[in-house]
Structure 1
Amino acid sequence: MRKLIWISFFGLLTACDFFVSKEEATQKLVEEKLLQIDWDDVDQYPLFDACREDMLKPEQRACFEDTMMTQLNKALEDMEFEVKNDLNDTVLIDFLIDEHGFITIQNVEEKAKVLKEIENFNSEVTRRLNDLTTVAPAIKQGIPVSVRFRLPIILNTQ
């Protein structure tokens, strides 16, 4: 009887080790897959209605950027400011497009020269651009994700 009990008990210990090693192997596989993912790139860029899902990735990006610049121009085209001195500068705007496709302004670069000439420039740009339309969000590994973009506004009063 002693031998039979010992063999059964040993079998239980071996079985427990078998389950732990499967869990560890799965965890290791997940960690390896996560390390292989390029987190700085998306599988599909955010898409406006004018952009097609079946476009190649570089074409999607170009379509997104072109449409975004068109939206920016429309939002800012009727802005008029009086300045005392000529301005020739570029202001960078950081956008966030969240996993639901909502576009929000994260930051408007503060340039002392611009703010000296146009005090409310940043707040006015932010107000106008926060009303941009929504887009289909970016996709990474089949999941909608948030992405950040930086686009320039060129100011030239000459």
Structure 2
Amino acid sequence: MQRILVFFVFLMLVSCNFFESKEKRTQEMINAELREMDWNSIDSYPLFLDCDETATKQVQKQCFEQKITRYFETTLNEFEFTVDSDKNAIVDVIFVIDAEGKINVVDIVKDASILRQMPEFDGIITQSLKNIPPIAPALKRGIPVKTKFKIPVQLNTK
């Protein structure tokens, strides 16, 4: 009876170590996969409802860029932005589309002269991006991820 009990205890210890090592191997495989993953690229771009989610990545990118540029342009055409300058003023609007598809302005890069001439500019840009129709977030391995974009906006000069 004692031999059976010792054998049973031995069997339990070996089986626990078997599961532990299997779990450890799985974790090591996951860590290796994460180290090899290209975190600077996405599998699919953020999409508006009328963009084709089954299209190639390049077609998705074009659809997204066209739609967001068109919407942004339409919204900003409601305002007259004119700057006193010898050269065309370009403003870079940097924004993030989060994993839920919400847009957040990160930065608006512009000359100090633009800020002096149009102090309300940042508010108009931010509000116009918040009113964009729903967007499905970008995907990486089927998981929604946040993505960062930059739109250059050219302002007319007098």
* TM-score calculated relative to the size of structure 1: 0.85
> Is residue 88–residue 155 contact of structure 1 (8 Å, CA) maintained in 2?
yes
Task: Name stretches of at least 5 consecutive residues in structure 1 with no aligned partner.
Answer: none
Q: Distance in 2 between matches of 1:139 and 1:61?
A: 12
User: Which position in structure 2 is the counterpart of 1:95?
Assistant: 95
User: Which position in structure 2 is the counterpart of 1:79?
Assistant: 79
1:4 deviates by: 5.3
> Is 1:12 equivalent to 2:12 in the alignment?
yes
Task: Name stretches of at least 5 consecutive residues in structure 2 with no aligned partner.
Answer: none
User: Which position in structure 2 is the counterpart of 1:128?
Assistant: 128
What is the SS of the residue equivalent to 1:80? Answer: coil
> Is residue 96–residue 148 contact of structure 2 (8 Å, CA) maintained in 1?
yes
User: Which position in structure 2 is the counterpart of 1:151?
Assistant: 151
Query: Residues 59, 104 of structure 1: CA spacing in aligned structure 2 closer, same or farther, 3 A cutoff?
Result: same
1:80 deviates by: 1.6
Provide, for residues 48-96 of structure 1, a one-character-per-residue CA deviation record: whole Å limited to 9, x for no partner: 2332112111111111111111011011012124544445221111122
User: Which position in structure 2 is the counterpart of 1:114?
Assistant: 114
Q: Distance in 2 between matches of 1:126 and 1:3?
A: 76
Q: Distance in 1 between matches of 2:8 and 2:81?
A: 87
What is the SS of the residue equivalent to 2:148? Answer: strand
Query: Residues 85, 3 of structure 1: CA spacing in aligned structure 2 closer, same or farther, 3 A cutoff?
Result: closer
Amino acid at match of 2:107: N
Amino acid at match of 2:59: E
Amino acid at match of 2:18: F
What is the SS of the residue equivalent to 1:96? Answer: strand
What is the SS of the residue equivalent to 1:151? Answer: strand
Give RMSD over aligned pairs.
2.2
Query: Residues 121, 87 of structure 1: CA spacing in aligned structure 2 closer, same or farther, 3 A cutoff?
Result: farther
1:3 deviates by: 5.5
What is the SS of the residue equivalent to 2:22? Answer: helix
User: Which position in structure 2 is the counterpart of 1:59?
Assistant: 59
> Is 1:137 equivalent to 2:142 in the alignment?
no
